[in-house]
């Protein structure tokens, strides 16, 4: 049996950096669905890092992971094709804006539980997006 260890902010950050480097090489050949999937991967990493930082007693406002998570949510929202996406694009826009509010509130409150709740929502949407590949 492999012993379970708690991820620290630095190990989560290092894992995120490694994934980011892998993603940069994948991005050049990616189609739009894969690019959005990569953004979700990055968003999950950033919010996970924020939660780990809070658990270690760090303040997370004005940190790189907080800025990155917010920028990704804005990018996902702005990148929606409302002309061709119709109701789905509108629904996703509402979801992304809600996630951005939750992120802002969790970061301002330095609340790991709120960040975990946000991460669960991100994973739910991300999983649905990944279903497009199947």
- pLDDT single digits (tens) 66-78: 999 999 999 999 9
Full set of structural domains in the chain with CATH: 9-133 (1.20.120.340)
What Cα–Cα distance (Å) separates residue 67 from each residue in 29, 35, 104, 107, 127?
Answer: 26, 19, 10, 10, 23
Pick the range with the lowest mean pLDDT from 20-29, 46-55, 105-114. 20-29
Please determine, for residue 36, whether its predicted confidence score (pLDDT) is greater than 60: yes
User: Looking at residues 80-99, what average pLDDT do you find?
Assistant: 94
Q: Give 81's contacts (C-beta < 8 A, 6+ positions apart).
A: 89
Highest mean pLDDT among 14-23, 82-91, 105-114, 121-130: 105-114
Distance CA 107, CA 115 (A): 8
Number of Cβ within a 10 Å radius of residue 67 = 13
């Amino acid at each position: 049996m492999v012993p379970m260890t708690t991820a620290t902010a630095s190990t989560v950050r290092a894992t995120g950096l490694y994934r980011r480097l892998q993603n940069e090489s994948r991005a050049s050949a990616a189609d739009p669905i894969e690019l959005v999937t990569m953004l979700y991967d990055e968003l999950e990493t950033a919010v996970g890092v924020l939660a780990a930082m809070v658990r270690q007693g760090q303040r997370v406002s004005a940190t790189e992971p907080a800025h990155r998570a917010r920028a990704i949510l804005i990018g996902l929202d702005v990148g929606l094709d409302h002309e061709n996406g119709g109701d789905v694009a509108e629904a996703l826009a509402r979801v992304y804006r809600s996630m951005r509010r939750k992120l802002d509130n969790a970061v301002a409150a330095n609340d790991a539980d709120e960040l975990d709740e946000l991460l669960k929502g991100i994973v739910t949407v991300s999983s649905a997006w990944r279903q497009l590949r199947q």
